[in-house]
Amino acid sequence: MNTVTSDDRNEDARPLIACHECDLMQREGFVPPGGTLRCCRCRAVLYRRRGRGFERALAFALAACVLWLISNAFPIVGLAVNGDLVETTLIGAVRVLYRDGMWPLAGLIFVTTILMPALQALGTVWLLLPLYLNRRPWRADAVFRLLRVARNWGMTEVLMLGLLVAVVKLAHIASVVTGPALWSLAALMLLLVAASSAFDERAMWMRIEGSPRGMPADTPLAGRTAAASGICVCHDCGLSTRGTLHHDHLLCPRCGARLHLRKPASLSRTWAYLIAAAILYVPANLLPVMNTSSLFGAQKDTIMSGVAYLWHSGSWPLAIIVFIASIAVPMLKILAIGYLAATANLRMTQRSVQRARIYRIVELVGRWSMLDIYVIAVLVALVQFSAMATIEAGPAAIAFGAVVVLTMFAAMSFDPRLIWDSAPPREERP
């Protein structure tokens, strides 16, 4: 893949763009099809140009719609006990949790594994099918923003890993029968990833609007930040618009997202979410996450004892994965966001590149903590043999789900441009 830095060449004819992560204005280099444009200061990806991405993204999304239907209509896994087969669908697992009074957990699982993947596939089709037929998509602005939310909160890939862990755990209890939805979910996961990586957002806006929209014509030269020139960069579509510091109600003229020079009260909101997550991290690890009652008595499992169980039963690769996803990642995420927020509070000027890298890693790995929530959901839905054994979700499961959601909110509230605001400005190379 070709990687281009945005100040590789210097011709005044090249359009000015602002980096969404560090806010530096720079002149855009030529990007060949399949190439990537990176920020010359923070190395954030500014633009990936897709060759024939349009048709491919549409085809992947249409196939994903069909697979979503299959994934939700058929059972995922079943347990064969004494000749009886107990099976569960995805919505069946949600229903069992809801019935047991675990509605926050049921809601979280419904949104991240059923609703958001559907919106991901439908939103892509909604935007790209009319364009393919040379028409304008209706309400492209709202659907585009919805698609961005759906990509953040759709977690099909984490669900797949959760199902794998659950199947291994269940194999110790009874014989596991895989259902058709397990395979279609795996294919759905791949198609959603393929559709979103083939989706060229800039090319889509070009086709909707007919011409590229750049910076306002009288923008001062590059090498300064957009905020210093009174330019707001849209968090969603990347469009640059002239704004003022005190204008709170400015909307992006292209996608309708709220615009601000910096996210309002970014650091105080980040700290609030972070402190709440750190407090809930304690009960999430100390209280039982799962209650098992059987003929041989009742057993309460914490997250750590679940890891120990996997380790002793010989599934040590899964034990390591669950340990990393459920115990290490949430704790490291709280520490990493705390470090980013504290250094931004102190207006630290050093190590900006490393801090920007930490921010990107936090955004990338945070979602994997949902793993244990999905494992619990599948176990609870399947192990419901009232006489022999029943598994219920424990109070720690809700606390743990809240930690995952709160740390995701904390990462979303943090404005990465604060990392660079105290850094010395970098002049564009002559």
Q: Which residues bind Zn ion (CB under 5 A)?
A: 19, 21-22, 39, 41-42, 44, 234, 236-237, 239, 252, 254-255, 257
Based on CB atoms, which residue is closest to Zn ion, 39 or 381? 39
State the minimum distance, in angstroms, from the CB of residue 355 to Zn ion.
Answer: 12
Q: Which is nearer to Zn ion, 39 or 198 (CB)?
A: 39
Q: How far is the CB of 272 from Zn ion (least distance, A)?
A: 26
Cα 179 to chain centroid distance, Å, stands at 27
CA–CA gap between residue 309 and residue 296 (Å, rounded): 17
Query: What's the closest the beta carbon of residue 6 comes to Zn ion, in angstroms?
Result: 9
Cα torsion 332, 371, 366, 275: sign: negative
The Cβ of residue 32 has, within 10 Å, a number of other Cβ atoms equal to: 11
* Cβ nearer to Zn ion, comparing 88 with 352: 352
Q: At closest approach, how far in Å is the CB of 403 from Zn ion?
A: 30
Least Å distance, CB 7 to Zn ion, is 11
Cα(270)–Cα(341) distance, rounded to whole angstroms? 7
Shortest separation between residue 24's beta carbon and Zn ion, angstroms: 5
Contact criterion met (CB below 8 Å) for 67 and 191: yes
- Please say whether the beta carbons of 261 and 273 come within 8 A: no
Comparison of 321 and 423: residue with beta carbon closer to Zn ion: 423
Contact by Cβ (8 Å): 405, 281: no
Nearest to 129 by CA among 111, 117, 143, 149: 143
First-to-last C-alpha distance (Å) of the chain: 27
Quick one: 36 or 299, whose CB is closer to Zn ion?
36
Q: Are 71 and 91 in contact (CB under 8 A)?
A: no
Nearer to Zn ion, 84 or 248 (CB): 248
- The residue (of 123 and 394) whose beta carbon lies closer to Zn ion is 123
DSSP 19-86: -TTT-BEEEPPP--TT-EEE-TTT--EEEE--SSHHHHHHHHHHHHHHHHHHHHHS-SEEEEETTEEE
Nearer to Zn ion, 156 or 240 (CB): 240
* Distance, CA of 236 to CA of 413 (rounded, Å): 14
Buried residues in 141-175 as b, exposed as e (16+ CB within 10 A): bebbbbbbebbebbbbbbbbbbbbbbbbbbeebbe
User: Which residue in the block uniquely carries the two structure tokens 């028409």?
Assistant: 135
Calculate the CA 67 to chain-centre distance: 21
What is residue 414's DSSP assignment? Answer: S
Instruction: Tell me the pairing of strands 3-5 and 36-38.
Output: parallel
Q: Which is nearer to Zn ion, 90 or 419 (CB)?
A: 419
